Amino acid sequence: DMYVQALRNVSVVFSVKFVSGFCVRLFMSICCIADPEWASYTLGVFVCHSCSALHRNIAQISKVKSLLLDPWSSSQVEFMDSAGNNAVKAKYEQLVPAFYYQPTYKDCMLLREQWIRAKYEREEFLCVAKQEPYSAEGFLWKRGRDNGQYLSRKFILSEREGVLKYFNKHDAREPKAIMKINSVNATFQPTKIGTAHGLQITYLKDNSTRNIFVYHEDGKEMVDWFNAIRAARFHYLQVAFPGASISDLLPKLTRNYIKEGYMQKTGPKHTEGFKKRWFTMDDRRLMYFKDPLDAYARGEVFIGSKENSYTVLAGLPSSIQGYHWQFGITIVTPDRKFLFACETEEDQKSWIAAFQTVINKPMLPQEYAVEAYFKHKP
């Protein structure tokens, strides 16, 4: 390899040419970003700067060096040449369950750290015996719907029943809530919840979205719950869609929100004052909340496709009066116009891009039923 030869020529320090060539070729399969600056010289993998910090947490297994700043011995260079990300991936990811979430550099630190620990520290994917059963029963800290206080609650996830349940009292026989797995979603929200292990679970109750915010002190425990939900969803979808391929089902197990943030909105008559609300774009559901941690949305808007006469426009109608943020957005639906205002032009462009992504996608058959419900929603 020409880049390895270039490395040997400098003997003790990685050359820029090596970093941008050989290193990237082996690196892309794991971290998915170019120009890695670090490597684990005990595992033989190239990593990005943030992942290098996670590898330091398992220093007994993985020791890292800078590619450009630290000295490299010839034996270390030879080892990196013989290993590399593709070879290490083939060894440590032999038996990753299909439903198991494999994070990228865009995901939160908790998911990435536990993925690294699962592979290299616990070696969970070398043999099935090292994998814990992904069915869950235990206690999580749950945020109270009304008072915002976190209390310990018992949760049970039953793949056989296809439900996730929680109980208000440890000895309670009847659950406080039963969430059908066909509508359950889970996404890590450390910033919003205020804890590194914070998980937001949503489900449909009377076709409206219900939010539950939970966490556990043990990061592994929280990621295990997340993957247990994905496992239950995977089982449900395999039964519901027996002809679907695994690659078709995986994107449906859990999803991150397309976009979240504050905007202002006015009412259906467009004469009401604009009010600041927290907005969440979850697939075709645009939800708005008074507070980001509210259990229920104040309202939901269905965003269809351009083929069905949905459009998004920059700006507000000239007839709109009263104080509002400067950068407006108008969403046109077959029934009415929804008016929003953003604080900055950057926010406006980002929201318009998010709306346009959804509007450009043709609607699926099942989404027409959701649209019909929104039109006749009381």
**One-letter amino acid of 324:** H
Mean predicted confidence (pLDDT) in 243-258: 96
The counts of H helices and E strands in the chain are 12, 17
pLDDT at 103: 94
Instruction: Please tell me the distance from the alpha carbon of residue 178 to that of residue 166, in angstroms, as a whole number.
Output: 7
Which residue in 135, 161, 165 sits closest to 153, CA to CA? 165
pLDDT at 377: 64
Instruction: Please tell me the distance from the alpha carbon of residue 29 to that of residue 91, in angstroms, as a whole number.
Output: 13
Tell me the DSSP string of 305-337: -GGGT-EEEES--TT--S---SEEEEEE-SS-E
DSSP E strands in the chain: the ranges are 38-40, 45-47, 64-66, 136-143, 150-158, 163-167, 177-180, 185-188, 199-205, 208-215, 259-265, 275-282, 285-289, 299-302, 311-314, 327-332, 337-342
| Tokens describing residue 204 | 């449909």
Q: Is 152 left (phi over 0), alpha (psi -120 to 50) or beta?
A: beta
pLDDT at 374: 83
Instruction: Please tell me the distance from the alpha carbon of residue 5 to that of residue 11, in angstroms, as a whole number.
Output: 9
pLDDT tier at 130, thresholds 50, 70, 90: confident
Give the CB-side neighbour count of residue 123, counting CA atoms within 13 A: 7
CA dihedral 224, 228, 230, 231 (to 10 degrees): 130
Mind listing the pLDDT tens digit for each residue in 254-268?
999 999 999 999 999
Looking at residue 200, the DSSP 8-state letter turns out to be E
Q: Is 322 left (phi over 0), alpha (psi -120 to 50) or beta?
A: left
Mind listing the pLDDT tens digit for each residue in 9-46?
433 333 333 443 444 444 444 454 556 789 999 999 99
pLDDT at 9: 44
Q: Which residue has the tokens 């820029």?
A: 16
Element (H, E) at 248: helix 246-249
Domains of the chain: 16-121 (1.10.220.150), 132-252 (2.30.29.30), 259-376 (2.30.29.30)
pLDDT at 378: 52
Q: What is the mean pLDDT of the chain?
A: 88
pLDDT at 376: 64
Q: Which residue has the tokens 């590399």?
A: 84
Q: What percent of the chain has pLDDT over 90?
A: 72
Q: Report H helices in 57-198.
A: 74-82, 85-92, 109-116, 190-193
Mind listing the pLDDT tens digit for each residue in 268-280?
999 889 999 999 9
Rounded to whole angstroms, what are the CA distances from 22 to 10, 76, 223? 15, 15, 33
Provide the 10 A C-beta neighbour count for residue 217: 9
Mind listing the pLDDT tens digit for each residue in 135-170?
689 999 999 998 999 999 999 999 889 999 999 988
